Amino acid sequence: MITSGLAYVATLALIASVIVYTEKRGAYRLFDYLPSIVILYFVVMLLSTLGLWHKTPDITATYKALKNTLLPAMIFLMLLSADMRQIIKLGPKMLMTFLLASLSIAIGFAGMFFLFHGHLSPDAWKPFAALAGSWMGGTGNMVAIQGALHVPDSAMGYALFIDSIDYAVWVMVLLALVPFARRFNHWSGADTSLIDEVGAKLALNDANRGNIDFKSLFILLAASFAVSAFSNYLGGLLPTTDFLSHTTWTVILATLAGILGAMTPLGKMGGSAQLGTAMLYFIVALIASRANFSELTEAPLYILAGFVILTVHLLIMVLFAKLFRLDLFSLGVASLANIGGVASAPILASAYSRALIPIGVLMAMLGYIVGTFGGLGVGKILEIIGG
């Protein structure tokens, strides 16, 4: 049984590194269906359930210090790739389609919670708010909202259950629809002539990111910790409400710093995505280390709720496709840029044409920007519905 903070951190780092190494070096089909970060969560959660470590004062203090430091740093690093100047090149129609996808997901969450909240625990709106952050951005946004709203670590298992199972089904549905694009576009009356042109422009004009080197890594590491320290300090001084805690302010400040930092030379440096992802894996391991499988008694209901959200999202997107003559490519990539993020939106884009991959990447980057704010907004709506 582990009782010291150092051994606890070393164990989590070892587990994360083994899973990442296995994914990158192995050829296991499991990783085709479950992202490594989800596997990491459930492996650590299983070890926590088995009692490999306990919540000793030393481990608890280590957990809080690391999470409070790494969370703002991770948010900042993940957003350094999201340069608004590049995203604007997508054009108004594609940006509108992305925002429509985000709005329809928010409506799906509100409608689902109106139907289900009577069957859920009083604080169920919190893990759904975290899930909304993921389904409007990515796992990093989910973790940001988990910290901002003080979502119990045990409840995050529900969000990750939905995020893995329902998301996997949704990816398969969108990929299966690719061969029907021409028929769908004819039905909606969409004009697809601009899509290839936009993809070609982005491929030509996309700024080249620098190579990862020793200097860049240290500058980015120093900048991320400086942003973390500043966000924690300033966030602790700002006024609070029932919804805006000091931690929420810290997350918002780190998000704004990342958006602004992406338009500086820091955004051109190689390594920000890798450093940010490494911090994200470690934060997820920290969260999972405080959870327990015995607490996930309502998992089937949460999974069903996730499919209700996706159904509402689908119906609204199809309706607006007919009203605004939207094509299936833009709808699918906008949907997956929200729900799947940068890991899956480019894959769907490439299923249409490799020339369109930059569109998937930039839409997913836009998700990183709006995900945290969108998830917090959805959380407030769900709290009102539940009250």
- The answer as to whether 54 is a domain residue is no
Q: For residue 328, what are the CA distances in angstroms to 91, 136, 180, 354?
A: 17, 19, 9, 16
% of the chain surpassing 70 pLDDT: 91
Q: Between the ranges 75-84, 112-121, 240-249, where is the mean pLDDT highest?
A: 112-121
CA distance 112 to 223: 40
Burial of 166 (0-12, 13-18, 19+ CB in 10 A): buried
* Residue-number span of the structural domain to which 250 is assigned: 82-152+166-270+294-386
Give ∠ CA 236-237-242 in degrees, rounded to 5: 70
What pLDDT digit, counting tens, does each position of 261-309 carry?
Answer: 988 888 888 888 889 889 988 988 998 888 777 766 777 898 899 999 9
Of 65, 78, 74, 62, whose CA–CA distance to 11 is shortest? 62
- The answer as to whether 282 is a domain residue is no
Task: Enumerate helices (H) and strands (E) in the chain, giving the number of each.
Answer: 18, 0
Confidence check: pLDDT of 204 > 90: no
| pLDDT given at position 207 | 47
The one-character DSSP state at 122 is: T
| pLDDT given at position 198 | 66
The predicted model gives 341-355 an average pLDDT of: 78
The answer for residues whose C-beta is within 8 angstroms of residue 200's C-beta and 6 or more apart is 355
Number of independent structural domains in the chain = 1
CA distance 251 to 246: 9
- The answer as to whether 171 is a domain residue is yes
Q: Where are the beta strands (DSSP E) in the chain?
A: none
CA distance 108 to 115: 11
Least confident span in 35-49, 169-183, 229-243, 347-361: 347-361
- The answer as to whether 89 is a domain residue is yes
| pLDDT given at position 335 | 94
Confidence check: pLDDT of 206 > 60: no
Residue 122 backbone dihedrals phi, psi, to 5 degrees: -60, -30
- The answer as to whether 276 is a domain residue is no
DSSP H or E run through 233: helix 214-235
* SS3 letters across 23-86: HHHCCCCHHHHCCHHHHHHHHHHHHHHCCCECCCHHHHHHHHHHHHHHHHHHHHHHHCCCCHHH
Give ∠ CA 77-83-87 in degrees, rounded to 5: 135
- The answer as to whether 321 is a domain residue is yes
- The answer as to whether 129 is a domain residue is yes
- The answer as to whether 191 is a domain residue is yes
User: Which pLDDT band holds residue 229 (cuts at 50, 70, 90)?
Assistant: very high
CA distance 13 to 102: 34
| pLDDT given at position 8 | 94
Mean pLDDT of the chain: 85
